[in-house]
A and B are shown apart, each in its own frame.
Chain A
Amino acid sequence: MSEPVDSGATAVADRGRAEVEAVLQGRSRRTAAVSLIREAALLPVLVLLIVVGSLVSSAFLTVSNFSGIGEQIAALGVTVVGESLILLIGGMDLSLEGTYGLAPMVAAWLMVPVAEFGSGTKLSPYLAIVVLLAVGATVGLLNGLMIVKGRLNGFIVTLAMTIILAGLQLGIVHGNTLFNLPSAFLYLGSASIGAVPVSFIFAAIVFIVVGLFLRYHRTGRAIYAVGGNLSAARAAGIKVDRIRIGVYIAGSILAAIGGLIEAGRVSAVTGQQGFQEGIIFPVFAAAVIGGVSLRGGRGNMVGAASGVLLLGVVQNILDLANTPNYWIEAIDGVVILIALILARVIGGEATAE
């Protein structure tokens, strides 16, 4: 039965509040501790892996090996940032691997002479990088429009898109590999400052900038709101559609940059890069192992980065252990599953779901 609208109710609430706050204070401290554990969930696993690595090979704990790991994970890392953003808004983009292959292929094709299967336009490498970014942006925009405005299923849209992109990637060069690319184009993926690969520094900067953006920028916070509860975000007046489309574009641009780094690392663009080598699996695995939820709204760049590091170290150990080539994929899969289970056990409910 309703009480008269007066200050009486406030008094009632105030009386109860002191007790409740006392209880909640303890709970808050516990919550904080739990969230810290979650963010650092993979740290013990990484330490364990480093111990295992050093036992497997004396070459593991060397500067050159770590520099190699850094070089290898940079391309994956930048793409994982893109996928994590899309997962955070509650989406899913399988076409990042297609963009990862097609964007550098289009750029390379525009730079290389006809005799080497290029278009013969001999575009400057700087303009080529602009084209590469534009290809990424276009793919992201198309995905975003179809999924957000067209209300098509994101899984199928991006699955179709990745196959289209991979087909284009082979089609424009008739399945050939493009070599002899300008050094400015290869710089990001191949150069080093001392023992530290430029690509690794670049990837680290991407993680830090995106991490800060997500934590402190109003659009970054809106990404969490949209992924956590889309209709609540809409009811709060957030421009939900614009943010979702924007995130699809940003994700694809990051995947294109990932492709650029990979092209620099191997000094070529192959028809296999991206889709055919199945890069989307480690991309998803790293994000999910790092605690980015496939249901949206949960996860951060600290987790995503540790997921990438973990996969890179595992890959490296398998290489050093001279795992027979035919078995490497099976072992890779098993290791990813184990990492996922460990992340779940250590990180609790919210991780690896």
Chain B
Amino acid sequence: MSEQIASAASAAAPAAEAAGIHKQFGSTQALRGVDLTLYPGRCLGLVGRNGAGKSTLVSILSGIYPADSGEVRFDGVPAPPLGNVRAWRDRIATVFQHSMVVPGLTVAENVFLGRQPRRAGLIDWRRMREQTRQVMAEWGFQIDVNRPCADLTVEQRQIVEIARALAAGTRCLLLDEPTAALERGAIERLFARVRQLTASGVAVLYISHHLEEVFEICQDAAVIRDGELVLTGPASGLSKDDLVTAMVGPDAAAMRADLTRAGAGRSTAAPAADRGAPLLVIDHVSAESPGGRVRDTSLQVRPGERVGMTGLLSAGVSTLARIVAGAAPYESGRVLLDGKELPPGRRDLALRAGVGYLPEDRQADGFVSALGVAENSTMTITDWLARLAGFLRPQTRAAAAAPLTRALSIVSAGPDQPVGELSGGNQQKVTAARALARKPRLIVAITPTRGVDVASKTLLLAELARVTAETGAALLLATDELDDLAICDRVIVLVRGERFTEFTEPPFDREALIAATEGMARDAAGGGAGKGNASTSARPAGAQPAGHADSPPDSDRQGTP
């Protein structure tokens, strides 16, 4: 399909090319033979799910790390050696998702960072300010060049980064999710700038999670999946459904079959539990968090119910789960377990109230690597194990850990082997054992299968399903691994920190889930596969979700704008 682009832009030679790029990290094949071409005066929109290889490709195109094989060319000339940062910056400029301006320096200093004009070996301040002013004026940016960047807004800092690229005379610009931190108005202005840039002949690679943006400003679109470019072509010839289908992949059908089969093993407790009072009530909770904010979100979970939560990286899914587990504070709202309020950010109290917790980052929060398997598994129940004056025997600990390690098939040299020596899968099982040891009434699990091999993954999910079915515990599963949601009774999708939609009827349609995480409710009539299982009425595609979507049935709706 790349010929189509070539023909459309046959007048111009490529500004940047990546040919046959392979990249491997440890045992993970991040990129497998990617060919990507950027033409002057055109904007290429690159989309793909988390972990598809977008960031790796950006890093290789920016000269941050080398490709294992393949070549990067600028204007037909092979890229400079990796260490030659200056030469790379002359050819391609990248505006990363996270700001790369130095807050303590002025706008002019940041624009000329590392390439300040000099006179007699000293920085020529006058010329630097003058040239910065010129660039700003030329592109219609209105920022005082003497202001320290710490005083600038996110949008202005982004302009500084773009100005840096323009001042270097770069004809190739990479924008990595530039709208993630911007307000609506700023996004519009950014789009105007991108159009202005492409009109002047700059080649732009635009990476985004929001598909509607691609159609708004890009001439071409490309989809990356599992390290391969699976679709490239002019944006005008593609629909959103084409992109979503390409992002999900041809195995979607097989996936659906899997989900159906797994769904058959779902809890039977759920329908019966409908009559019971809610175990967990999240009542209009809002929180600011670097991992994604949560805005006025409500949710109820009944005993024995398994509720999945999913969304994009910064959609607030893990923040909300951490709040319920008592591992993160929140600013407003309430979290109630059995009608009793859980104090914000008090993990110890949440544990005693009956909340088991599988944290997102197991290396950081999951276990103490120097301590043994038994000790880590029973860390949540030392008060149960201790006898005389708080002393406990290692044998008691090992005995208490044994049923847990058996149920989760934890492979270790014995109860005393430090968990740091175990494989990732077994480490995660130890973290799960620790969460389940106290017989929780509510299990909060965040991406419990991330980075875990297939056998361990299935085992972990099966164990979570078994425990909830047998003990009547509820499960709140926050994950971006859509396969994992198969064990859930319903799935909540968060977009930009708010409840966007809810899927109540398993099996959950993979494409509909992905579309929802991108902020698009799929047209139920158009998507026959959806079986109409999204409980919300379909929103117009690309609509900005406003307020909290549907409130749980019992909660008042006074917060709805």
Q: Which residues of A contact B (CB under 8 A)?
A: 1-6, 8-10, 12-14, 16-17, 20-21, 24-25, 27-28, 31, 216-219, 221-222, 224-225, 228-229, 231-239, 297-298
Q: How far is the CA of A6 from the CA of B458 in the complex (A)?
A: 8
Known: A2-B458, A4-B261. 15 other contacts (CB 8 A): A1-B251, A1-B254, A4-B262, A9-B454, A9-B455, A10-B409, A13-B455, A28-B414, A31-B421, A232-B368, A234-B327, A235-B357, A236-B351, A237-B357, A297-B368
CB interface residues, B 259-273, toward A, < 8 Å: 261-262, 265
B390 touches A218 (CB 8 A): yes
B275 at the interface (CB under 8 A from A): no
Shortest distance in angstroms between A329's beta carbon and chain B's nearest beta carbon?
36
A5 touches B386 (CB 8 A): no
A25 touches B413 (CB 8 A): yes
Q: Tell me if A's interface is mostly helix, strand, loop or mixed.
A: helix
Contacts of A17 in B (CB 8 A): 409, 411
Could you pull out 5 A-B pairs where Cβ atoms are within 8 angstroms?
A2-B486, A5-B465, A16-B411, A17-B409, A237-B350
Partner of A9, one of B254, B365, B459, B483: B459
A229 touches B369 (CB 8 A): yes
Partner of B368, one of A13, A20, A216, A233: A233
B368 touches A238 (CB 8 A): no
A5 touches B462 (CB 8 A): yes
Partner of A234, one of B251, B347, B370, B391: B347
Shortest distance in angstroms between B560's beta carbon and chain A's nearest beta carbon?
35
Shortest distance in angstroms between A32's beta carbon and chain B's nearest beta carbon?
8
A237 touches B483 (CB 8 A): no
Contacts of B457 in A (CB 8 A): 2
Q: How far is the CA of A5 from the CA of B467 in the complex (A)?
A: 14
B379 touches A236 (CB 8 A): yes
Contacts of B262 in A (CB 8 A): 2, 4-5
Contacts of A219 in B (CB 8 A): 390
Q: How far is the CA of A31 from the CA of B484 in the complex (A)?
A: 36
CB interface residues, B 480-515, toward A, < 8 Å: 483-484, 486-487
Contacts of B459 in A (CB 8 A): 9-10, 13
B17 at the interface (CB under 8 A from A): no
Shortest distance in angstroms between B22's beta carbon and chain A's nearest beta carbon?
23
B181 at the interface (CB under 8 A from A): no
List the A residue with the shortest CB-CB distance to B385.
Answer: A218
Q: Mark B322-352, 1 if CB is under 8 A from A, else 0.
A: 0001010000000000000000000110111
Q: With a 10 A CB-CB cut-off, give which of A2, A20, A31, A222 has the most chain B CB atoms.
A: A2
Contacts of B462 in A (CB 8 A): 5-6, 9-10
B392 touches A236 (CB 8 A): no
Q: How far is the CA of A25 from the CA of B411 in the complex (A)?
A: 11
List the B residue with the shortest CB-CB distance to A3.
Answer: B458
Partner of B370, one of A12, A20, A224: A224
Number of A-B residue pairs, CB cutoff 8 Å, is: 147
List the B residue with the shortest CB-CB distance to A4.
Answer: B261
Q: How far is the CA of A229 from the CA of B255 in the complex (A)?
A: 38
A1 touches B369 (CB 8 A): no
A14 touches B265 (CB 8 A): no
Shortest distance in angstroms between A326's beta carbon and chain B's nearest beta carbon?
44
Partner of A235, one of B347, B458, B461: B347
B1 at the interface (CB under 8 A from A): no
Contacts of A12 in B (CB 8 A): 455
Q: How far is the CA of A297 from the CA of B370 in the complex (A)?
A: 8
Q: How far is the CA of A53 from the CA of B41 in the complex (A)?
A: 83
Contacts of A27 in B (CB 8 A): 413, 421
B151 at the interface (CB under 8 A from A): no
B184 at the interface (CB under 8 A from A): no
B412 at the interface (CB under 8 A from A): yes
B375 at the interface (CB under 8 A from A): yes
Q: With a 10 A CB-CB cut-off, give which of A8, A229, A232 has the most chain B CB atoms.
A: A232
Q: With a 10 A CB-CB cut-off, give which of B364, B366, B391 has the most chain A CB atoms.
A: B391
B188 at the interface (CB under 8 A from A): no
Shortest distance in angstroms between A347's beta carbon and chain B's nearest beta carbon?
15
Q: How far is the CA of A222 from the CA of B417 in the complex (A)?
A: 18
Q: With a 10 A CB-CB cut-off, give which of B254, B379, B416, B421 has the most chain A CB atoms.
A: B379
B380 touches A14 (CB 8 A): no
Q: Mark B244-262, 1 if CB is under 8 A from A, else 0.
A: 0000000100110010011
Q: How far is the CA of A17 from the CA of B408 in the complex (A)?
A: 12
Shortest distance in angstroms between A3's beta carbon and chain B's nearest beta carbon?
5
Q: Mark B377-397, 1 if CB is under 8 A from A, else 0.
A: 001101101100111111000
B367 at the interface (CB under 8 A from A): yes
A217 touches B347 (CB 8 A): no
Q: How far is the CA of A236 from the CA of B413 in the complex (A)?
A: 23
B379 touches A225 (CB 8 A): yes
B461 touches A5 (CB 8 A): yes
Given A218-B390, A224-B370, A238:B261 Cβ within 8 A: no
Q: How far is the CA of A297 from the CA of B368 in the complex (A)?
A: 9
Contacts of B371 in A (CB 8 A): 221, 224-225, 228
List the B residue with the shortest CB-CB distance to A14.
Answer: B409
B368 touches A225 (CB 8 A): yes
CB interface residues, B 440-465, toward A, < 8 Å: 454-459, 461-462, 465
Contacts of A28 in B (CB 8 A): 413-414, 416-417
B392 touches A217 (CB 8 A): yes
B364 touches A239 (CB 8 A): no
CB interface residues, B 306-331, toward A, < 8 Å: 325, 327
B434 at the interface (CB under 8 A from A): yes
B40 at the interface (CB under 8 A from A): no
Q: With a 10 A CB-CB cut-off, give which of A1, A236, A298 has the most chain B CB atoms.
A: A236
List the A residue with the shortest CB-CB distance to B408.
Answer: A13
Q: How far is the CA of A16 from the CA of B453 in the complex (A)?
A: 13
A233 touches B458 (CB 8 A): no
Partner of B417, one of A24, A225, A233: A24
Shortest distance in angstroms between A98's beta carbon and chain B's nearest beta carbon?
31
B519 at the interface (CB under 8 A from A): no
List the A residue with the shortest CB-CB distance to B425.
Answer: A13
B359 at the interface (CB under 8 A from A): yes
Given A2-B483, A4-B262, A6-B462, A229:B347 Cβ within 8 A: no
Contacts of B392 in A (CB 8 A): 216-218, 221
Q: How far is the CA of A219 from the CA of B367 in the complex (A)?
A: 17
Given A5-B458, A224-B371, A232:B366 Cβ within 8 A: yes
Which 10 pairs show the lowest CB-CB distances between chains A and B?
Answer: A237-B351, A24-B413, A28-B413, A228-B368, A218-B382, A9-B458, A236-B379, A235-B365, A13-B409, A2-B483
Contacts of A20 in B (CB 8 A): 411
Partner of B487, one of A5, A9, A222: A5
Given A9-B462, A229-B368, A1:B348 Cβ within 8 A: no
List the A residue with the shortest CB-CB distance to B379.
Answer: A236
Q: How far is the CA of A20 from the CA of B370 in the complex (A)?
A: 21
Contacts of A8 in B (CB 8 A): 458
Q: How far is the CA of A1 from the CA of B371 in the complex (A)?
A: 33
Shortest distance in angstroms between A8's beta carbon and chain B's nearest beta carbon?
8
A229 touches B351 (CB 8 A): no
Q: How far is the CA of A30 from the CA of B361 in the complex (A)?
A: 30
B458 touches A236 (CB 8 A): no
Given A17-B409, A31-B413, A239-B348, A216:B369 Cβ within 8 A: no
Contacts of A25 in B (CB 8 A): 413
Q: How far is the CA of A5 from the CA of B411 in the complex (A)?
A: 20
Partner of A222, one of B327, B366, B367, B382: B382
Contacts of A298 in B (CB 8 A): 370
